[in-house]
Amino acid sequence: MPGTRQICGARHTLGTVDELEAHAIVVRADALNLLGRYDEALRLVSPILADNSTHLPSGVAAAVSLLHLRRDDEAVMVLSRLAGAHPNSPDAVRLLSVAAVRRGDSAAAVAHAARAVELAPAALDVHVQYSVALTAAQRRADAVASARLALELDPNSAAAHLAMADALLLGDLTEHPGDLALAEQHIRQILEADPNHAPAHNALGRVASAKGEIFAAISSVSRAVAADPRQDVLVRNVVALLARIILMTYCGFCALWWIDLGAVIGGEDGKPVLVGVALAVIAAVVAPWLRLQRVTSLRVRDLFRDFRRRDPAGVAWAGLVAAVGVLLAVLPLTSIAVARVLFAVAGGLLAIALVAFGLRVRAAKRLARSSHTIRP
């Protein structure tokens, strides 16, 4: 995300404020942006831009606010005017690259970031953004190289370490087995300096997810959400991880359904098996719930509320899985004749849930553009 910038002295004559006053206003706006008070920062610099729409420092401060407020189209309008009026300013084109990454236009993101590097080859933030843009374009080797240059400029830069971790996590990690551990090293170096660094906790969750450690991933990403609940991608990642737990439950129910098959065919003699499967179903639901409560810093109820709000298709799919669990749990309480009917219904629901899961994954992959997003 945009945050820091170079303050370039503007030489324009402003209608209602002089240049010194404008500079003081921009400094205050920059401070408000760093505090996350983006609306206030935007209101502060708006009168300057109303007098002079190409005033560089206030335009950059306004664009940072607009990008954080998810008003990307307005930010691009402001930045395009600035880039046209100040072709040698790296700030405008760097932020245009940020906006292009957000829109999923990786080609434009790389082009703008490359131009920023040409204009300010010794500036840390342009190399970080170039790495971010290259990561969005799936150019792993180039992204790693750009992040390495950023780390050479400032070995303690959290943004540079995060860019390196993102680049290392790109693509098929089986082709780069050592890079997962290297990415984790970069992330932990950030957290040593700032234990509440939300993007670093999110990245650590992605590392755990890549290792298949779902509950560790939820623990890390929930810490990221607690540190910065404004970041939408963090909540989306928690939702994606909850969906994985539901998928694991679905797979368990499939196995238990097959175990029940022999018991249902066997008639009354299979009742003990049905009882055992029912107990296993209860354990398959209760155990993850208890573990979630232990590993997450958020309330489990709030996690599922976000899941319901952000993934309605996933909720419908989870409902099918839950219905299967209920049917398997009540089988030993019914007669064999009724149990056979319920067993057949459970099998049908498992098949429908499988199709629904496939459709949901396809939809989720189309929406998961950000390199910070945990894939379904």
pLDDT mean by block of 10 residues, the chain; 376 residues: 42 56 88 88 90 90 91 92 92 94 92 96 95 94 95 95 93 74 94 91 89 88 80 75 88 93 80 90 90 79 76 83 93 89 93 84 58 55
Residue 77 domain-assigned? no
Count other Cβ atoms within 10 Å, centred on residue 369: 15
Q: pTM (2 decimals)?
A: 0.77
pLDDT of residue 264: 84
Rg of the chain's alpha carbons, rounded to an integer?
26
Residue 323 domain-assigned? yes
Residue 266 domain-assigned? yes
Residue 330 domain-assigned? yes
Count other Cβ atoms within 10 Å, centred on residue 124: 18
**Cα end-to-end distance, the chain, whole Å:** 23
pLDDT of residue 155: 95
Residue 109 domain-assigned? no
Contacting residues for 169 by C-beta, under 8 A, at least 6 apart: 179, 180, 183, 203, 206, 207, 210, 371
Q: Residues 18, 79: contact at Cβ < 8 Å?
A: no
Residue 84 domain-assigned? no
What's the pLDDT tens digit per position in 14-57? 445 577 888 889 899 889 888 888 999 999 999 988 888 889 99
Residue 160 domain-assigned? no
Count other Cβ atoms within 10 Å, centred on residue 262: 10
Q: How far apart are CA 69 and CA 62, in angstroms?
A: 10
The tokens describing 271, both together, are 């009742």
Q: Residues 350, 253: contact at Cβ < 8 Å?
A: yes
Q: How far apart are CA 346 and CA 6, in angstroms?
A: 62
The structural domain count of the chain equals: 1
Contacting residues for 319 by C-beta, under 8 A, at least 6 apart: none
pLDDT of residue 374: 57
Contacting residues for 144 by C-beta, under 8 A, at least 6 apart: 131, 164, 167, 168
Residue 201 domain-assigned? no
pLDDT of residue 13: 45
Domain of 340 in residue numbering reads as 243-367
